[in-house]
Structure formats: C-alpha cells, structure tokens
Amino acid sequence: MARVRADSNGSLRDQRGGDGFWDRPMLINLLADVLLLAGGVLLAWAATVALQRLPVLPLKQLLVATPLDHVSRAQIEHTARNALSGNFFTVNLETARNAFERMPWVRSATLRRVWPDGIELTLEEHRAAARWTPLEGEPRLVNQRGEVFFATSGEALPVFVGPEGSAARVLERYREFGAGLAASGRRPVAIHLSAREAWQLKLDDGVVLELGRDEPKHPLAERVHRFASYYAAAASAAAGRLPGIAVVDMRYPNGFALRASKS
C-alpha cells in the first residue's frame, strides 16, 4: 500500500512501506530464537566437556559381580581402561557395555553406577557345547543356546559340521541323538549335516552312523532307536566275518547294513 506525505516544500511525495529484513519482526524473532537455541546447545556441550575434565566424582573402582571361568582379570582391566571414561555421572554405560561384550567368551554385559565412585559389572559367559566347523567359514564354538561365537577352548567338545546358520538345529539334534543312544552305552562325538540335509554321526567308539535325510515315514529318531536296540547283537553275530565295523548304514527302512573298516 502506498503512503503519501508532504515534504518541506509543501509538495506531495510517494513513500512505500519498507520490505527489508529489519522491517519484518517475525523473521527477526525467528533468528533470535535460532541463535538462542544454538547458544544453549554450545553452552551445554562446553559444560559437559568441562565436567568430564574436572576431578569431580571420578571413577575409582570397577566391581565384577559374577564369578568367571574364561574371562581374565587382565582382559577386564584392559577393556575398562579404554571403555570407562569420564566421571560418575558422565561415563557412557552403553558404550562400555558394547566394549565388554566384544571380549572373547562374553555373551552379555550389564553395568550400573554404584555411588559414589564405582561401576558394577555383570558378565554372562558363553557355556561351550561343541566346536563348530561350518561347511564354509572359520571354525568357532557353539554355546548351550546354539549360538556361535569366536573363542578358543581346550575342552574335549563334540564337533559339529554343517551349513552356516544351522548350529542351533544341529545342537538340538545332537541332544536328541544322545538321548536315543543312551540305551546302547554309546554317545555321539561328532555330527555332520550336509548341504543336502543328510545326517551323519560319529560315536565315541569310532563307528560312523549314516542316518541320511529325515523323512516323515522314517524319522531319524526311529533309526537311532533301531541302532540302539539291535546293533550290539548284529555286531556280535558279524564279529567272525568282519575284522571291525567302521560304518553302520541306517538309511534302510527296516534294518541296517554294516561296513567293515579298511584295516
């Protein structure tokens, strides 16, 4: 809208309203709000950094709340030095938790503050159930939950071989086969699952059981039960004809075949 006013000579002159930044109160207020917000953020960041550097409530102790079998004190101390920074209030427990869970044998870690200068650490270790050798990939261990993890162990553990991602299923079958073989006095020390879903067991006496693929009409559990029930008698009857039994082929619907060792 045009405005008209008289100048000092009495003549009329057109004066239009200003349209610059400083003539827009809403923009000025918005800019002021943004600057105040940015200043507040910078001030909070500076205060946090300053608080971390001040010797106020420094962390003095790490309390390990669980007994450990595999994780050493030296490993915990090394991880703590790198993961626990800041003071009682500013230490990042989530970052520290992730660092502790990257340690070998650690399945999970929980940390909480203990007033006035401590951190309590609770670790859950993996309980190894078997050695895991995938058909492709690096050997690892399997815990009691069927989870694969990286660690080394000198324990006498059964050996699992199978496609990547099948460790939990192999562990379940291992327990099932072990229960089915209990009546025979034998136990599995190795189990192999092929890419075509064929199962093979190696027993503690060196005999290999070829179980084949699981089928609704002839389930694996039935084949293991048949072996446990009749193998001892069959092996005794064949003792005079076979120098030693290396393989028992359980893939037959109503029986099994014995294969002699090469020696």
Closest CA relative to residue 147, chosen from 134, 128, 161, 160: 128
Task: With cut-offs at 50, 70 and 90, classify the pLDDT of residue 244.
Answer: confident
Are 153 and 114 within one domain?
no
Pick the last residue of a domain from 125, 149, 179: 125
Closest CA relative to residue 154, chosen from 78, 68, 69, 74: 69
> Residue 20 falls within a domain, yes or no?
no
Are 153 and 170 within one domain?
yes
> Residue 2 falls within a domain, yes or no?
no
Token pair 């050996």 is found at 159
**Residue of 42 and 78 predicted with greater confidence:** 78
Q: Is the pLDDT of residue 2 over 60?
A: no
Tell me how far apart the alpha carbons of residues 249 and 247 are, in angstroms, rounded to a whole number.
6
Q: What single DSSP character describes residue 161?
A: E
Q: Is the pLDDT of residue 50 over 50?
A: yes
Pick the last residue of a domain from 125, 146, 169: 125
Task: With cut-offs at 50, 70 and 90, classify the pLDDT of residue 12.
Answer: very low
Are 74 and 168 within one domain?
no
Which residues share a beta bridge with 64? 121
Are 115 and 138 within one domain?
no
Question: Over the stretch 178-200, which tens digit does the pLDDT of each residue have?
Answer: 999 999 999 999 999 999 999 99
Best mean pLDDT range from 8-17, 52-61, 121-130, 244-253? 121-130
Tell me how far apart the alpha carbons of residues 258 and 246 are, in angstroms, rounded to a whole number.
8
Q: Which of 45-54, 157-166, 237-246, 248-257 has the lowest mean pLDDT?
A: 45-54
Are 139 and 243 within one domain?
yes
Are 76 and 156 within one domain?
no
Element (H, E) at 149: strand 148-149
Question: Over the stretch 86-139, which tens digit does the pLDDT of each residue have?
Answer: 888 889 999 999 999 999 999 999 999 999 999 999 999 999 999 998 877 788
Q: Helix, strand, coil proportions of the chain in percent (round to 5)?
A: 35, 30, 35
pLDDT given at position 1: 45
pLDDT given at position 21: 61
> Residue 51 falls within a domain, yes or no?
no
Are 82 and 176 within one domain?
no
Closest CA relative to residue 190, chosen from 208, 213, 172: 208
Are 93 and 203 within one domain?
no
Q: Could you give the C-alpha distances from 111 to 76, 83, 120, 170, 197, in angstroms and in order?
A: 13, 12, 6, 33, 42
Which residues share a beta bridge with 123? 109
Are 133 and 225 within one domain?
yes
Element (H, E) at 24: none
Tell me how far apart the alpha carbons of residues 16 and 14 are, in angstroms, rounded to a whole number.
7
Tell me how far apart the alpha carbons of residues 254 and 199 are, in angstroms, rounded to a whole number.
18
Stretch 217-239: mean pLDDT, rounded? Answer: 92
> Residue 243 falls within a domain, yes or no?
yes
Task: With cut-offs at 50, 70 and 90, classify the pLDDT of residue 47.
Answer: low
Q: What percent of the chain shows pLDDT beyond 90?
A: 63
Pick the last residue of a domain from 125, 159, 181: 125
What predicted TM-score, i.e. pTM, was given to this entire model?
0.74
Tell me how far apart the alpha carbons of residues 94 and 100 are, in angstroms, rounded to a whole number.
10
> Residue 45 falls within a domain, yes or no?
no
Q: Is the pLDDT of residue 142 over 50?
A: yes
Q: What single DSSP character describes residue 183?
A: G
Look up the domain containing 96 and give its range.
61-125
Are 196 and 142 within one domain?
yes
pLDDT given at position 4: 45
The domain that contains 207 carries what CATH number? Answer: 3.40.50.11690
Are 137 and 203 within one domain?
yes
Question: Over the stretch 62-79, which tens digit does the pLDDT of each residue have?
Answer: 999 999 999 999 999 999
Closest CA relative to residue 192, chosen from 217, 226, 169: 169
Are 172 and 160 within one domain?
yes
> Residue 8 falls within a domain, yes or no?
no
Tell me how far apart the alpha carbons of residues 132 and 135 are, in angstroms, rounded to a whole number.
10
Tell me how far apart the alpha carbons of residues 75 and 62 are, in angstroms, rounded to a whole number.
13
**Residue of 114 and 6 predicted with greater confidence:** 114
- Do residues 160 and 171 touch, judged by C-beta distance below 8 A? yes
Task: With cut-offs at 50, 70 and 90, classify the pLDDT of residue 33.
Answer: confident
Q: How many domains does the chain have?
A: 2
> Residue 244 falls within a domain, yes or no?
yes
Element (H, E) at 249: strand 245-249
> Residue 185 falls within a domain, yes or no?
yes
